[in-house]
Structure 1
Amino acid sequence: MTSTSTPSVTSWQPLTLRLMLAQALVLLVGLVLTLVTVMWFGPSMFVHELAVSGHAEEAAHVGEEILQGAFRTVSFSAVIVGGLPALVIAVLLSFYLYRTIGRSLTAFSSAAEQVASGDYQVQLTSPGLGPEFDTLASSFSDMAARLSAVDTTRRQMLADLAHEMRTPLASINAHVEAIEDGVLEMDEEITRILYSQTGRLERLAGDIRLLAQAEEGLVHLQLVAQYPAEVVAEAVASVQQEAASKDITLITTMSGLDTGPVLLDRERIGQVLGNLLVNALRHTPATGSITVHTDHAPDAVTIAVTDTGDGIAAEHLSHIFDRFYRARAGREAGPGSGLGLSISRALVEAHGGRLQASSAGVDRGASFELLLPRSVRS
């Protein structure tokens, strides 16, 4: 196991100390150059200026050396009286900046050590050193929050995956042991059962991967201006045959004046609508109906999939988008992985939209409303 070294708190001090000393050195060099200029070039320039201004006779009467000496004395005193306090003030301000920057860098160093140790509960406050440091603090806090969300998702996903894998693995093990003990023969029915369970594991792995990517914002969306009516028609057509075989009526309606295109990933939104329609078909009895209503507004498009089927009990409605909800109770009790609605919500939210469910109660149907903004915020 390798360990990564992180900067200690005092490792920032040489940097800030060097900044303070460099600033003080610049001011000191400026003061020295000012003194040299005043003492070396100033006297002759002063005498020359007197001559140019018509006071050459007075200068000659007083004496050039006396004038230059007086100028040196006065200029030196003025530079010292004005320059030294300025240098002291500059050093004090540099020291203040040194302490402020040092504390800020120490906070960043401690936060980095905290994140490196696996503790993502980091919230850096604004150090008050300007927009650049404010942006850095905000970005670091956002990064820590993102890492925390990813870690939470990973832990929960592993727990859910382990839970869901138990049933198909137990079935496979039981059949294999029965075959080894001679209780069962490897016939066509046993083969079908084994393939069914391995297929379930394969679907589960794929759904888990897609859900993790969607929840962590890692799904790459191909955003293209699309007409919602075309996406809806395509999704409805894909389940038309199954609906007809179950004697379920599919109805599409539309409202609103703005029927222009919407920026979306056609494949992903088609997947969402497909999940909602398949879920509605699974829970709608024969002679029932499923209505897909599209409402166009200037800033968003809403697509509602409403069925006349089993409905959702009030106590389960708030959990309908939870992972593996079918394993607990309620609506998704079919052969799927139990992740369809979770994946759908994550994909819609990746578009900057919203997916919500409503139901009047058991045996009173359910409605899933998908809202998509006409433009996706980056």
Structure 2
Amino acid sequence: MSAAVSDRTRAWSWSWSPLTVRLMLAQTAVLAIGLIIVVITAVLVGPSMFYHELVETGHADAATGLVHLEDAFRSVSLTALTIGGLPALYIAGMLTFYLYRTIGRSLTSFSTAAQEVAAGNYDVRVTSTSLGPEFDSLAGSFNDMAARLDAVDTTRRQMLADLAHEMRTPLASLKGHLEGIEDGVVEWDERTTGILYAQIARLERLARDIRHLTAAEEGMTHLQLTLQDPGQLAAQAAAAVQQDAAAQNISVTAINTGMEVPPVLVDRERMGQVLGNLLENALRHTPSGGAVTVRTDHTPEAVTLTVADTGEGIDPQHLPHVFARFYRAHHGREAHRGGSGLGLAISKSLVEAQGGTLEATSDGPGRGTSFRIRLPRHTPPG
């Protein structure tokens, strides 16, 4: 009972919100002024105009005889306007009330939803008000905004949790070794120094990758797009990792299709960073004696750069997640490999910022992995 009363009270107070009252008073004032003008015209101005019209047309005698009918004309006109005008004013007022009540309901729902979003509840949605495409478009835009904020907030919370997890291991290692040195359990020698520097380097790399990823995903990366030879980019990226690959007994080869590959409009430094990330990832997951290739190819629509390895491969269930932050398909063996878990996410964001796409394919565990960069072909002007 109390809930029903509360709902009725809330509905009544909402229906007569200040905005609704002001709009209704303004509309009623317009209608009333219009009706008054019509009455003045019909009752006061109308008979005089009719009289002068008779005089002008040469019926002065008839006009003089009709003067006594002016009062009757005014009375009839006023009665007719009263009978027709008051109901019209009432109907117009009711329609105005209904319209502004509906608009007020829509504005109230938007206001309530905005307050919910401001309070951190991103699950709120605004329903269609059936007031036309403008309000429907506004509702759709608001819902899209809420959904994006929800996704951003979810990503932020997940990223903070993942970041805390990633930092826990190097920090625990640093703390353990420093406490061991302090207690005299661990000797301050070259091995201990190397371990401490390695953990510090890991934290620095994590901070750097977080900064790069944030800049790429928020569109803050400044790109200098120029026409570049994709084959040359692939060869330079392969040459840059040759020394590390040789130390692991892994061959790295840049392969061209043999056909002339058209230039692509990219940022040379950023695309080098992407290829470097993909090659480093391939080396981490390829055993000694394996091979990594960078293949350049093109179609009428796009130029592709494919980094393929003969390494561990990826289970199909993990493929959709390989570009997620901190995602690792082999949780038990990743920590010691030096990756921050952000290289693939950074690469995907940088490729997309340059108008391309990056996708991963694998035939399964033990059968290698391929990462394919697809860049739109540059169309020369004219």
- 5 Å-filtered alignment, 1:110-259, equals 110-212=112-214, 214-215=216-217, 217-220=218-221, 222=223, 224=225, 226-227=227-228, 229=230, 231-243=233-245, 246=249, 248-254=251-257, 259=262
Structure-2 separation of matches of 1:337 and 1:31: 77
Other-structure match for 2:328: 325
Is residue 2:294 matched to residue 1:291? yes
User: Which 10-residue stretch deviates more, 352-361 or 193-202?
Assistant: 352-361
Question: Would you say the 8 A contact 2:313–2:368 is kept in 1?
Answer: yes
Question: Would you say the 8 A contact 1:172–1:197 is kept in 2?
Answer: yes
Question: Would you say the 8 A contact 2:264–2:303 is kept in 1?
Answer: no
Other-structure match for 2:340: 337
Note the alpha carbon deviations across 1:163-188, whole angstroms, 9 max, x for none: 11222112111211111112233233
- 5 Å-filtered alignment, 1:290-309, equals 290-298=293-301, 300-309=302-311
Question: Would you say the 8 A contact 2:209–2:340 is kept in 1?
Answer: yes
Structure-1 separation of matches of 2:93 and 2:121: 39
Deviation at 1:214, TM superposition (A): 4.4
TM-aligned CA distance change 1:374 to 1:251, over 3 Å: closer
Is residue 2:21 matched to residue 1:20? no
Structure-2 separation of matches of 1:251 and 1:212: 31
Other-structure match for 1:53: 57
Note the alpha carbon deviations across 1:174-204, whole angstroms, 9 max, x for none: 2111111122332333222211101111211
Structure-2 separation of matches of 1:109 and 1:21: 23
Note the alpha carbon deviations across 1:284-325, whole angstroms, 9 max, x for none: 444624132232433x44332222333334454344334241
**What letter corresponds to residue 370 of structure 1 in structure 2?**
I
Deviation at 1:152, TM superposition (A): 0.8
Deviation at 1:162, TM superposition (A): 1.7
**What letter corresponds to residue 43 of structure 1 in structure 2?**
P
Is residue 2:46 matched to residue 1:42? yes
Note the alpha carbon deviations across 1:10-44, whole angstroms, 9 max, x for none: 57810122112111111111111221232222221
Instruction: Count the aligned residue pairs.
Output: 363
User: Which 10-residue stretch deviates more, 92-101 or 282-291?
Assistant: 282-291
Instruction: Kindly report the root-mean-square deviation, in angstroms, between the aligned alpha carbons of the 2 structures.
Output: 3.2
Question: Would you say the 8 A contact 2:296–2:303 is kept in 1?
Answer: no
Structure-1 separation of matches of 2:57 and 2:356: 80
Using the size of structure 2 for normalisation, the TM-score is: 0.82
**What letter corresponds to residue 35 of structure 2 in structure 1?**
L
Is residue 2:35 matched to residue 1:31? yes
Structure-2 separation of matches of 1:17 and 1:277: 68
Other-structure match for 1:362: 365
Other-structure match for 1:75: 77
Other-structure match for 1:5: none
Structure-2 separation of matches of 1:255 and 1:232: 14
Structure-1 separation of matches of 2:76 and 2:229: 85
Structure-2 separation of matches of 1:256 and 1:43: 95
Question: Would you say the 8 A contact 1:227–1:261 is kept in 2?
Answer: yes
**What letter corresponds to residue 357 of structure 2 in structure 1?**
R
Structure-2 separation of matches of 1:193 and 1:333: 12
**What letter corresponds to residue 177 of structure 1 in structure 2?**
E
Using the size of structure 1 for normalisation, the TM-score is: 0.83
Structure-1 separation of matches of 2:54 and 2:84: 25
TM-aligned CA distance change 1:119 to 1:296, over 3 Å: same
Deviation at 1:141, TM superposition (A): 1.5
Divergent runs of 4+, >6 A: 255-258, 330-333
Structure-1 separation of matches of 2:372 and 2:111: 46
Question: Would you say the 8 A contact 2:360–2:371 is kept in 1?
Answer: yes
Question: Would you say the 8 A contact 2:20–2:100 is kept in 1?
Answer: yes
Structure 2 gaps of 5+ residues are 1-9
Structure-2 separation of matches of 1:225 and 1:55: 90
User: Which 10-residue stretch deviates more, 343-352 or 110-119?
Assistant: 343-352
- Residue identity over aligned pairs, in percent, reads 54
Deviation at 1:66, TM superposition (A): 2.2
Deviation at 1:47, TM superposition (A): 1.1
SS at match of 1:302: strand
